[in-house]
């Protein structure tokens, strides 16, 4: 009761606003501090997808069909495993749609062999899960890979999938807490690149958090990694240069990598976080440039 009354007073509102501001500033500051170890990594093993979501962060609705090569994936995992001394809290294997990769089972095995103690998730839209062979489920069980589907507002027999996971003893949990109504995140691009990169980095929820690996390069976030799909489709030229990523074969050690990931990159100038919106209705993409800009 006292707490409710306090919340309703002008002083209470001011204190709450101050608390939220302090939290925002604290979270922004954290992005500039190198992590003590690599805590989170995502690998996009396909560029394309069999769903077609508006605002898709890796630009999959407009991406050409493309697969992470097994050989490169193996080299990259081995190199990162060596650099990190096998220390990684969470590895998420995703796409596009990762179940479209014809050598997915091999990739899962390679990931586990290089990171024996890491929590590994396979992030999928679930469309192809009912079609997976027993060998897929057995691999997930044997190599301790958790299947983490996102529920989109499309028709999928989740009960049958859950039964299958249970039958094979595979870890299974939904990404959006089992909610059917997937909401869309819209982080617009400024095609002219006029934003202040330091301010955008500080405001960005992905910065130094959604670390992504792509063909030997590590990125602090998904956009510079995936912008090739956007540039190719819309014939734009949002530039990614050597200062936007770190090459894991050139980096001398993990400290150098962690320091790099905690810094704004030139590509941040293309992100307009002032226009970001979180809670948009799920819709299919019309492949229009306005969905990302
Ligand atoms: S499921 Fe939707 S958001 Fe996810 S990669 Fe495919 S198109 Fe993009
Ligand atoms: S490039 Fe954009 S998405 Fe990436 S950290 Fe900078 S502001 Fe965030």
Listed by start position, the domains of the chain span 31-286
Beta bridge mates, 41: 91
Alpha carbon nearest to ligand 1 atom 3, residue: 56
Q: Is the CB of 206 under 6 A from ligand 2?
A: yes
Question: Looking at residue 23, what is its pLDDT?
Answer: 65
Q: Which of 230, 267, 273 to mutate to test the pocket of ligand 2 (most atoms within 8 A of CB)?
A: 267
Q: What is the pTM of this model?
A: 0.91
Question: Looking at residue 148, what is its pLDDT?
Answer: 97
Give, as one character, the DSSP assignment of residue 271.
Answer: B
Question: Looking at residue 4, what is its pLDDT?
Answer: 55
- Whether the Cβ atoms of residue 124 and residue 148 lie closer than 8 Å to each other: yes
Question: Looking at residue 29, what is its pLDDT?
Answer: 85
The first and second tokens of residue 233, run together, are: 């489709």
State pLDDT tens for residues 91-130.
Answer: 999 999 999 999 999 999 999 999 999 999 999 999 999 9
The CATH fold of domain 31-286: TIM Barrel (3.20.20)
- With left for phi above 0 and alpha for psi between -120 and 50, is residue 75 left, alpha or beta? alpha
Give the position of tokens 């095995």.
109
**Residue ranges in the chain whose pLDDT is less than 70:** 1-24, 26
Query: 283: CA distance to ligand 1 center in Å?
Result: 11
Question: Looking at residue 289, what is its pLDDT?
Answer: 97
Q: What does the alpha-carbon distance between residue 65 and residue 71 come to, in Å, rounded to a whole number?
A: 18
Which one, of 231, 213, 261, lies nearest residue 110 by Cα? 213
């Amino acid at each position: 009761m006292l707490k409710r009354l306090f919340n309703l007073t002008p002083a209470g509102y001011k204190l709450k606003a101050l608390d939220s501001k302090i939290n925002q500033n604290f979270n922004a500051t954290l992005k500039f501090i190198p992590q003590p170890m690599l805590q989170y990594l995502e690998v996009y093993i396909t560029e394309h997808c069999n769903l077609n979501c508006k605002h898709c962060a890796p630009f999959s609705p407009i991406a050409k069909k493309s697969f992470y090569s097994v050989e490169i994936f193996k080299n990259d995992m081995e190199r990162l495993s060596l650099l990190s001394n096998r220390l990684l809290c969470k590895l998420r294997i995703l796409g596009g749609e990762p179940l479209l990769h014809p050598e997915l089972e091999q990739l899962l095995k390679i990931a586990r062999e290089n990171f024996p103690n890491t929590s590994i998730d396979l992030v999928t839209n679930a469309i192809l899960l009912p079609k997976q062979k027993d060998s897929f489920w057995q691999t997930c069980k044997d190599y301790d890979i958790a299947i983490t589907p996102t529920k989109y507002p499309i028709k999928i027999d989740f009960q049958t999938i859950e039964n299958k996971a249970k039958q094979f003893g595979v870890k299974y949990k939904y990404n959006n807490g089992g909610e059917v109504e997937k909401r869309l995140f819209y982080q617009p691009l400024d095609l002219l690149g006029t934003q202040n990169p330091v301010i955008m980095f500080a405001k960005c929820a992905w910065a130094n958090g959604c670390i992504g690996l792509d063909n030997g390069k590590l990125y602090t976030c998904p956009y510079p990694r995936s912008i090739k799909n956007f540039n190719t489709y819309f014939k734009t030229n949002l530039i990614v240069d050597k200062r936007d990523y770190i090459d894991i074969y050139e980096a001398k050690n993990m400290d150098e990598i962690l320091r790099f990931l905690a810094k704004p990159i030139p590509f941040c100038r293309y992100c307009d976080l002032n226009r970001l919106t979180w809670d948009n209705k799920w819709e299919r993409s019309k492949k229009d440039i306005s969905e990302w800009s």
